[in-house]
Amino acid sequence: MSPYGFSSGDPQADRRHGFAEALAASGDMEAAAEALAGALERAPGWAAGWHRLGEWRLASGDRDGAASAWRRALEADPRDRFGARARLDLMSGAPVSESLPPAYVETLFDQYAPRFDASLTGSLSYRGPQIVMEVLGRAGFARAARALDLGCGTGLMGAALRSSCDHLEGWDISAAMLARARARGVYDALARRDINALEMGGPRYDLIAAADVFTYVGALERVVAWCADALEPGGWFACALEAGEAGVTLRETMRFAHAPDYLSALMDQAGFTRVEISACTLRRERGADVPGLAVMARAGGRTPDRDRDDTASLTA
């Protein structure tokens, strides 16, 4: 993630950073790192600068220097808005965290929001919403009374769902993404939520869709259990995510990949039925297809302590 837009608070350090960025753009990463290190002497608490320095040092082959810079980024920003801890784990080969820091995901998508749609639907040929709708259609889904777009982003999934839902909600951690979703005008309600910290016992839904959001979650035990609890009996669940080979793997792209066997066991443990997991292509990246998995499942029977007086219709 680039620290563009994050000032050091020192005008001279910012000017040196601008010069360093020009050097990096020319391909001279070693010189760029040296120039940025000079800027950081004036702004030693600048977390975004330390993060950028780590990227450039790694690109120039200075692994020890990169690790040192990312440790300084963590010291300056314990919330870890730039994902320094995960980068340290990836570089060291140590077991990585099972999730990314919420502050990192929020910051990433707040920055990405203005160009999100153009990037995904243009150069990346992103197909997450289409994949979700295809797997639902093949399974016989027709309409939901209450639907939730989990990790709704700018509303690409919501636009695909809108004609099939009486009531559609969207949740996301990024305020900037939610603002874009609101402008799209397809949701009945939007809310800022960290999907890694959802609590049981809220409203029930007939459909929960999650298009490519779990690539930023990692371990899915908690959120999948929440989805099973939040669905009406027989409710629909569908998601698209990156395909992995073993369990949950954090890749150099700072996205998680999930293996089919892991997903199958997880869905069974959560009580889902009629589980279908199929291969797909999520998007293109650097000229190559990104292999994905499409998951469709139905919720099991109602848990006694979650009985509600209201009834929501579901058409299959």
Phi-psi map region of 256: left, alpha, beta (phi>0 left; psi -120 to 50 alpha): beta
Asked if pLDDT for residue 310 goes beyond 80, the answer is no
Task: Enter the pTM of the model.
Answer: 0.85
The pLDDT of residue 300: 83
Q: Which of 126, 267, 290 is nearest to 208 (CA)?
A: 267
pLDDT in tens, 144-165: 999 999 999 999 999 999 999 9
Cα angle 102, 209, 80; round to 5 = 10
Please give the pLDDT value at position 111.
85
Q: What is the dihedral of CA 161, 164, 165, 171, to 10 degrees?
A: -10
Q: Which of 48-52, 190-194, 311-315 has the lowest mean pLDDT?
A: 311-315
pLDDT, tens only, 275-309: 999 999 888 888 788 899 999 999 987 543 444 33
**pLDDT for the residue 313:** 30
pLDDT score of 145: 97
What domains are there in the chain, each with its CATH number? 11-96 (1.25.40.10), 115-315 (3.40.50.150)
Residue 227 has pLDDT above 80, yes or no: yes
Find the DSSP H helices in the chain: 11-25, 29-42, 47-59, 63-76, 84-92, 102-112, 116-118, 128-139, 156-161, 175-184, 221-230, 260-269
**pLDDT exceeds 70 at position 100:** yes
**Between 154 and 316, the higher pLDDT residue:** 154
